[in-house]
Structure 1
Amino acid sequence: MNSALPATDPHRGDVCALLEAGHDRDPRAVAWREEGVDTTYADLLELVQATAGVLRTQGVGPGDRVALLMPNTLAFPAVYYGALWLGAVVVPLNPLSTDRELEYFLTDSRAVLLWSMRGMDAAAGAAQAVGVPHLQSSPADLRDVVAGAEPVRERTPRTSEEADAVVIYTSGTTGQSKGARLSHRTVASSAVLTSEALDWLQAGHTVLGVLPFFHVFGMSAALNMPLYTGCRNSVVTRFAPHTALEQVVRDEVRALPAVPTMIGALLRALRSARAKGDDVDLSALRYILSGGSPLPVETLHEAEEEFGVPVREGYGLTESCGPVSFNPMLRPSRAGTVGQPLPGVEFRLVTTDGVEVPAGDTETPGELRIHGPVLMTGYLGEPQADAASFDDEGWLRTGDVATRDEEDYYRIVGRLKDIIIHGGYNVYPREVEEAFYEHPAVTEAAVLGVPDERFGEKVVAYVALQDGAEVEVAELIAFVRERLASYKWPSQVTVMDALPKNTTGKIVKDLLR
């Protein structure tokens, strides 16, 4: 169901060619910095070929699926590209998965091998339970683990651009996780198109590798794209705001891709450091990229003011292999929007009646649908889900509701399933959430609808406050009412210590329900 758009860049059809492109720019350049230790592009390619040798001794071959359970550490690119080097398929898994979840992922993907960080008890138990061979390594012994195998110098060519490269599981917040099949063309196109959109980023620049690489946003924007561009990846193995901020300064980070919760945490860390009189030199930083979930407009403005650089919000899904739109780098952005589609990617809006919103209509919301070379092939073993996910013309149904302005900047206003119908009026949760974020005491907000006998649904909100902040619920309700039409007013506001999130920092509304 992928688009038939032509690939104009040779690297868009082969994921391993991304690493080779970065290597060929300058083999002696630093590709990876982790805990103060540098790995050059030449060393990384050697490590990938040695890892491929280990995998081959385990019987891994073309088309086999290799599960990878690893935080952001050097073993991740080694195993990721090492498996692809043999023509195999990578299945990145969340390191926080339970043994039960891992058993499901290993069984559903039909993985032939699991490679994990040493010491992960859940990994060992799950592999044993389903009878899958299990290899382990740690940052300290990775090179020892791969030292005994003969490196694979010649890589196995992929059978076609549409051959699977990665199977990545959805977050599963609305049901059982599904494995999205991402082809070589899909994964490579995503990295290339993202690099083209970020035209300030060049070989030798430093990207902060803080997004988890097992997640599609991190895989595309913080792993594959920097390596393809010839950048240095300053890797954050475990996110701690103050430590990550120190790393931004020390390693002269130029680009910082992150999810909104990370941006908020870094913002608070920066304010705290400056309040203590610390000199935080951010002169190398050029921009912050936001994706993964909506970025509150108030947070965007505050981050731009404090960091002194543009914050560019984008949009993407697991099923689109990460980013499909960004606010432009070299032209003004529009706060509250996710920007414009990447080159080669097309958007359309379709109403609930199945009618496409015509060009020039800036008022009518519709489901956002996507077409282009970055779409998944489909879900692993889920033909019914495939049929529901694509329309008759091969456009991906995102389930997100959006509007667009006169210059084709798109604004996500909610999810189809999250639209609140209050007394016949449509209420889009994000608009109400943005009103809460304008209050200086609020740090997190989530709005949803619950059944109501009189109005069908009523608007309820859950918020978390800034550290040390105190505010009455009545004040919050009054604050929001000043900013919204009466049918959008929340009838109930609950203050929590923190809102529930998944491992990528996205607020999980289903748990609030």
Structure 2
Amino acid sequence: MTLHLDDLVPATLRREWAADGTCPDLDLYALFRAHRLADPNRVAVVDEAGELVYANLDLRVRAAAAGLRHLGVCPGDVVGIQLPNGRDAVIADLAVAALGAVALPFPVGRGAAEAISLLGRSGARAAIVATEYRGLPHAHDLVSVAAQLPGLRTVIAAGTQEPPAGAVDWVDVLSTDGRTFVPARPDPDSAARILVSSGSEAEPKMVAYSHNALAGGRGNFMATLIADGTPPRCLFLVPLASAFGSNGTAVTLARHGGSLVLLDHFTPPGALAAISDHRPSHVLAVPTMIRRMLDQPRSGAMPPMTALVLGGAELDAATAAEASAVFGCPVVNLYGSADGVNCHSGLLPAADEPGPGVVVGLPDPRVTEIRIDSGTEEFGEIIARGPMTPMCYVGAPELNQRYRTAEGWVRTGDLGMIDEAGRLRLVGRLKQVVIRGGANVSLAEVENAVSTHPEVREVVCVGVPDPVMGERLAACVVSRPGSGIDLAGLRAHLTARGLDKVKHPEHLLVVGEFPLTPAGKPDRAALRAMLPQPQSA
């Protein structure tokens, strides 16, 4: 089944962005192939197996594409990809692009229920999954539930273990003769990848992106962080299969001809060793990872880098300053989402100016234009539309109705304003609130306030069901080494900062480190489950 996807951005705008050079107007494999021809011996991937240059990566991509074609994958088909960071994930991504098919990556570590949801709603015809990842038999689990996915024709198992019965071995796919393979030339404004985002919905959201939106819009975002035009060398601590990880194969390789440094899973010592050994220009991570790396013992100075690029949440000012000093580079706080919004603090030091909310940065129309819609005179809902705007939500027309306007603008559900300097200020997140006795409490506002406590290394706030108030607010914190924190002291600190008492946490949970989702973000659901007997006010 070929998935039908409507592009909710007017076609005239897409063509204007291609005509004026904002978007490259080429498909992802063609862009990658141009870099392979220009510099075949440039390193493309560094992983636990070593280095792989562009020429050798391309040979593997063409073999994989030919093998997938023999298995019946056609242009427009959706192919699920559940692989850890490494060369196989990159090969699979580029091979799907070379076929004119649509990649649907989702991180390892998630269970069969999520795979059924994603593959079923997208109508995926094939899936390339890890045979085993850190004790989880992904391929076996998917084969065992394949009967629930009538559209799924083929499960391909990748890894060193024997593939389960009913699955095709990835090694056999890679062994196909790719010399006669002729790549497809899909419309650059057609779907190339489906990004998966948990968001606030009951099931993970799937968002369709075109070749131009990835290489053009998202590629332009990355271009603003490349100081001297040299192809970037990016250490991805986030999964390539996450929405943030879409800046890997499509952007770092295909658009900018750079190199990917990949670890199959994150550990603080492993990440620090990768920086020392492989000397990346950029590290892409979420704030929790940076905080955990800062708590590790280090010997000597870190090698020079261009930037730490952080997504998923904002790194508080004190920790950002510490990280900048330790790693010797700017910390770029990225405001963005799979839904199609992007703005960041840039490579220059952020101005610490008083005013409402948090200064995000100056919106870039070559990435996405940002406006404020239907609010008060000061602030309202942030909406975005531009070259990186996705086509639509997949298999969820109700989300298109809720989050997209008739002109293709994306409703973020966040509150913000554009200040006199033209910068976006983030005031609050509409979708992350606790309703306590009828009062809406922004989790982001409370988290920002709690993060200023000198003994707090990291904070996540969650709502706790309450029979009287509806919800009460809980602060989950990781304290700094050698320090401690109690609820009374935290509330006293928040009072001194002037935070309204209705916004003070009523529960406190102190943990050594946060549980993480497979995408590397703090797992709010897991933290909420740890709160049956918190310290109470």
Which band: TM-score by shorter chain?
0.7 to 0.9
Return the offset for 1:186: 1.8
1:324 aligns with one of 325, 342, 349: 342
Deviates more, 1:390-399 or 1:439-448: 439-448
Distance 1:244 1:418 in 2: 30
Partner amino acid, structure 1, of 2:349: P
Given that 1:432 and 1:484 are in contact with CA atoms closer than 8 Å, whether structure 2 keeps it comes out as: no
1:226 and 2:257 matched: no
Given that 2:23 and 2:215 are in contact with CA atoms closer than 8 Å, whether structure 1 keeps it comes out as: no
Change (3 A) 1:510 1:142: closer
- Once the two structures are superposed, the pairs formed by residues 12-411 of structure 1 within 5 Å of their partners are 12-35=25-48, 37-119=50-132, 121-131=137-147, 132=152, 133-138=154-159, 145-151=173-179, 153-158=181-186, 160-171=187-198, 173-200=200-227, 202-220=229-247, 222-227=248-253, 228-269=255-296, 272-273=297-298, 278-280=299-301, 282-320=302-340, 324-329=342-347, 331-334=348-351, 336-344=358-366, 345-350=368-373, 354-355=374-375, 364-411=378-425
Distance 1:392 1:150 in 2: 44
Distance 2:236 2:127 in 1: 23
Change (3 A) 1:127 1:374: farther
Return the offset for 1:491: 4.9
Tell me the alpha carbon deviations over residues 88-143 of structure 1, each in whole angstroms, 9 at most, x when there is no partner.
Answer: 11111221121222122222221111111233523333234225311122379966
Change (3 A) 1:365 1:420: farther
Return the offset for 1:205: 4.2
Tell me the alpha carbon deviations over residues 420-464 of structure 1, each in whole angstroms, 9 at most, x when there is no partner.
Answer: 577997653323212221223212223356789999976543323
Q: Number of residue pairs matched?
A: 492
Given that 1:49 and 1:152 are in contact with CA atoms closer than 8 Å, whether structure 2 keeps it comes out as: no
2:486 aligns with one of 443, 463, 472: 472
User: 1:348 is paired with a residue of what secondary structure?
Assistant: strand
Change (3 A) 1:12 1:407: farther
Q: 1:361 maps to what in 2? A: none
User: 2:145 is paired with a residue of what secondary structure?
Assistant: helix
Tell me the alpha carbon deviations over residues 350-399 of structure 1, each in whole angstroms, 9 at most, x when there is no partner.
Answer: 2xxx2475xxxxxx232110011212211222222211111233210011
Change (3 A) 1:65 1:425: closer
Distance 1:118 1:316 in 2: 32
Distance 2:95 2:208 in 1: 19
Given that 2:105 and 2:241 are in contact with CA atoms closer than 8 Å, whether structure 1 keeps it comes out as: yes
Q: 2:455 maps to what in 1? A: 441
Tell me the alpha carbon deviations over residues 3-52 of structure 1, each in whole angstroms, 9 at most, x when there is no partner.
Answer: 51422156344222331243244111111111261111111111111110
Distance 1:146 1:468 in 2: 51
Return the offset for 1:81: 1.0
Distance 2:68 2:212 in 1: 23
Distance 1:451 1:209 in 2: 37
Return the offset for 1:247: 1.1
Deviates more, 1:288-297 or 1:425-434: 425-434
Alpha-carbon RMSD across the aligned residues, in angstroms, is 2.8
Partner amino acid, structure 1, of 2:250: N
Deviates more, 1:164-173 or 1:211-220: 164-173
- Once the two structures are superposed, the pairs formed by residues 487-502 of structure 1 within 5 Å of their partners are 487=501, 489-497=503-511, 498-499=513-514, 501-502=516-517
Given that 1:327 and 1:334 are in contact with CA atoms closer than 8 Å, whether structure 2 keeps it comes out as: no
Q: Percent identity?
A: 27
Given that 2:385 and 2:410 are in contact with CA atoms closer than 8 Å, whether structure 1 keeps it comes out as: yes
Change (3 A) 1:25 1:259: farther
Given that 1:402 and 1:412 are in contact with CA atoms closer than 8 Å, whether structure 2 keeps it comes out as: yes
Change (3 A) 1:66 1:451: closer
Distance 2:123 2:436 in 1: 45
Q: 1:360 maps to what in 2? A: none
Distance 1:171 1:454 in 2: 29
User: 2:492 is paired with a residue of what secondary structure?
Assistant: helix
Distance 1:241 1:327 in 2: 25
Gaps (5+ residues) in structure 1?
358-363
User: 2:426 is paired with a residue of what secondary structure?
Assistant: strand
Gaps (5+ residues) in structure 2?
1-7, 162-168, 353-357, 530-537
User: 1:44 is paired with a residue of what secondary structure?
Assistant: helix
Tell me the alpha carbon deviations over residues 158-201 of structure 1, each in whole angstroms, 9 at most, x when there is no partner.
Answer: 1x333211122221553112321212222222342123211316
Deviates more, 1:237-246 or 1:331-340: 331-340
Deviates more, 1:481-490 or 1:238-247: 481-490
Distance 2:159 2:468 in 1: 59
Partner amino acid, structure 1, of 2:31: L
Change (3 A) 1:408 1:27: same
Could you state the TM-score of these two structures normalised by the residue count of structure 1?
Answer: 0.87
Partner amino acid, structure 2, of 1:154: V
Change (3 A) 1:240 1:458: closer
Given that 1:445 and 1:464 are in contact with CA atoms closer than 8 Å, whether structure 2 keeps it comes out as: yes
Change (3 A) 1:145 1:61: closer
Distance 2:206 2:468 in 1: 41
Given that 1:340 and 1:410 are in contact with CA atoms closer than 8 Å, whether structure 2 keeps it comes out as: yes
User: 1:337 is paired with a residue of what secondary structure?
Assistant: strand
Distance 2:468 2:171 in 1: 66
Change (3 A) 1:151 1:412: farther
Deviates more, 1:454-463 or 1:438-447: 454-463
Could you state the TM-score of these two structures normalised by the residue count of structure 2?
Answer: 0.84
Given that 1:106 and 1:130 are in contact with CA atoms closer than 8 Å, whether structure 2 keeps it comes out as: no
